[in-house]
Structure 1
Amino acid sequence: MVARIFRPARTAMQSGKAGTREWLLMYEPEEAKKVEPLMGYTSSGDMLAQIRLSFESREAAVEYAERNSIPYRVEEPKDPTRRKVSYTDNFRYDRRQPWTH
């Protein structure tokens, strides 16, 4: 039962960074989820999959895991790389792709 310590990425439906500042401690699943044949529900007997603890910093999450002797794995966040895009580049005369309108 290994715990993951990570900072969640923003969802595709989100333009802001709400909920991405905190660090989460979640357990890795011990058994695979199975589909119930009659209704098609997905279920699991793994009760630790329901635990989701949030912390203000990475150090606080690591300290909690060490204090409670929980084996853990830290996943460092990948910060997005942003390209500088200028609106005026759409109207340049030496564009790479010619204007199609």
Structure 2
Amino acid sequence: SGKALTDRWILEFEPAEAKKPDPLMGWAGSGDTQQQVQLSFPSREDAQAYADRYGIAARVHATPPKRLKIQAYADNFR
């Protein structure tokens, strides 16, 4: 039902510098390559341990509550 890999914890790096538009193409970019890195972990504790081991300042965002949308199958055809 589209919930695969939703129980993973993601470690993302904060941008070190703001993105600037390229004068030729107009694309937004920066020299900060850490913005492109995303590390996933099976648990919050593993992600926190990795951040502590490598001296990365980590901030945990609370998981949003899962809302169940009650819907009848017949509603797909209305």
Structure with the higher strand share, 1 or 2: 1
Q: TM-score, with normalisation over the residues of structure 1?
A: 0.62
How large is the RMSD of aligned CA atoms in angstroms? 2.0
Q: Which has the higher contact order (CA 8 A, sep 6+)?
A: 1
Name segments (4+ residues, structure 1) moved above 3 Å.
Answer: 85-88
Sequence identity percentage: 47
Deviations 1:39-93 (A, max 9, x none): 11221111211221111111100011112221110012113312433468x7xxx
Q: How many residues align?
A: 75
2:62 to 76, 86, 98: 76
2:27 equivalent to 1:41:
yes
Give secondary structure in 2 for the equivalent of 1:64. helix
User: Is the radius of gyration larger for structure 1 or structure 2?
Assistant: 1
Structure with the higher helix share, 1 or 2: 2
Unmatched runs of 5 consecutive residues or more in structure 1 = 1-14, 91-101
Unmatched runs of 5 consecutive residues or more in structure 2 = none
